[in-house]
Amino acid sequence: MTTTTIAVIGAGIGGLTAAAALHRRGIDVHVYERGDTLREQGVGMHLGPNGTRLLNRMGLAGQLARNAVRPEALEVRAFHDGSTVARQEMGVAWEERFGAPYLTVHRGDLHRMLASLLPAERVHTGRELTGYEEGAKGVTLRFAGGTVTRASALIGADGVHSLVRRRLAGPERPVYSGNCALRGLVDAAALPDLDPALMYMFAGPAGRVLLYPVRGGRQFTYVVVAPAPEGLDESWTSTAGPADLDATLAGWAPQVRALVGTAREVRRWALYDRAPLERWSTARTTLLGDAAHPMLPHHGQGANQAIEDGVALAICLKEEASGAAGIAAALRRYEATRRPHTTRVQLGSRDGRPTTTQKRNPSMTNNLGNNGSNNNRNVNNQAADMAWILANDVEANLNRNDNLHSNAA
């Protein structure tokens, strides 16, 4: 039997962020990943200023500059002819406004960056958690194959199908959004009519297509969101194919139809989430990222909120006293800081689904060329609605709350 201080279950974006933030603060941490290799499946992702400011402080600014893209603007296009309906400036303007850049990046690239912040011996692959017991002296973790490890605290960063969440919250029914996403990668050269310095949203009557640059602008990630009947597997890596794209994009603009023949692969993602939890933690166990608050992708905040979780957890564990009482206090503080915020983001992501957006902003789903000012106002209003998320600085907030508490005392 081995002994560690903090055990993180899951080596995804959230788990590696938490482990890197803990390691950076001198806390003994080990990560346990069920997969046999350390890799991140998926395509591109959004990094809001709320996430990039924290990653920059962790020393990743240079790697992000080389591998990510800072989109200059978001252009909203009409689905049937590709004409520009609205434009939201981003780039320098958003970096100045929020104090950090808004970036788009391939998940695998960010995953490798985070893994580089940890010594190799801190990450253990081929370790599938099968159960755990929490006791007065710590947490005993049991893995497939019979391996047993003891830790002072257990962090469940094991995704939407989290075993740790099931132990804490009991069985739950996934909540289906009514939509499914087809997504993948395409070389930017295969879409010559689209500028790899921009993000694009093609808004249709019953769905939308988002394209954004990754890999330094050499590729686009595409996400096609459309209604679909319930019953699809709750997975974001299920296989689909060009025929699925062809059927979904029938009648769309040529810039979007080009995906059918050029996309390297097509993955199907049935969009489910869960009801917000009323409790995340016990005295020695807590949740992080999708295990705590799985959310729909319409605000592009799933990974960002996991990054915020990881940094907040590391701060709380570092600043509390050691021992059982200190760990319990740190986990209480972490949950009190994060759960109200992520619940609001999680529920807001539901409101941002395409069907809701279309009802609220019909001008964004029709080609109203003579109403450009209203269209720009709509997309700018949507960006303003997210400003409280993008401006969040979880590290500064924890310090500010500590100062307020000290002054009150």
Are 297 and 181 in contact by the 8 Å Cβ rule? The answer is yes
Place of tokens 């801190």: 122
Judged on CB neighbours under 10 Å (0-12, 13-18, 19+), 227 is: middle
Q: DSSP state, 276?
A: P
3-state SS class at 349: helix
| Residue from 231, 250, 238, 181 nearest 211 by CA | 181
Annotated catalytic residue 176: no
Q: Which residues of 232-253 are buried (b: 16+ CB within 10 A; e: fewer)?
A: eeeebeeebeeebbeebbeebb
Evaluate whether 180 touches 235 at the Cβ level (below 8 Å). Answer: no
- Distance, CA of 65 to CA of 103 (rounded, Å): 9
Classify burial at 374, counting beta carbons within 10 Å of its beta carbon; exposed 0-12, middle 13-18, buried 19 or more. Answer: middle
* Residue of 32, 102, 212, 272 with catalytic role: 212
CA distance 199 to 194: 9
Q: Where are the alpha helices (DSSP H) in 25-77?
A: 49-55, 61-67
Q: Which of 302, 284, 299, 335 is nearest to 134 (CA)?
A: 284
Question: Do 335 and 155 meet the contact criterion of CB atoms below 8 Å apart?
Answer: no
State how far Cα 181 lies from the chain centre: 15
3-state percent helix, strand, coil for the chain, nearest multiple of 5:
45, 25, 30
Q: Are 273 and 350 in contact (CB under 8 A)?
A: yes
Pairing of strands 267-273, 285-287: unpaired
Question: Which helix H or strand E contains 6, and what residues bound it?
Answer: strand 2-9
Structure-token pair, residue 317? 């564990």
Bridge-based pairing state of the strands 148-156 and 138-143? antiparallel
Report, as residue numbers or ranges, the catalytic residues. Answer: 212
